[in-house]
Amino acid sequence: MIPEPRRTPPLLGTLDYLTEVAKDWARERFATAQRGDFALPPHYFELRGDRVRRRRIRSLTPNADSPMVSARGRTRPTAWCHSATVIRLIDTEAGIVPLEQEIVEVLVTDGEDTVAEAAGVARIPGFPPCLGRFRST
Question: Which own/partner pairs from 6-12 qualify as long-range (CB within 8 Å, at least 24 positions apart)?
Answer: 12/50
Residues 110 and 77 sit within 8 Å (Cβ to Cβ): yes
The H helix count followed by the E strand count for the chain is: 3, 7
7 band by pLDDT with thresholds 50, 70 and 90: low
Read off the pLDDT of residues 93-103 as tens digits, 9 standing for 90 and up. Answer: 999 999 999 99
As a whole number of angstroms, the distance between CA 82 and CA 105 comes to: 6
Domain spans of the chain? Answer: 15-136
48 band by pLDDT with thresholds 50, 70 and 90: confident
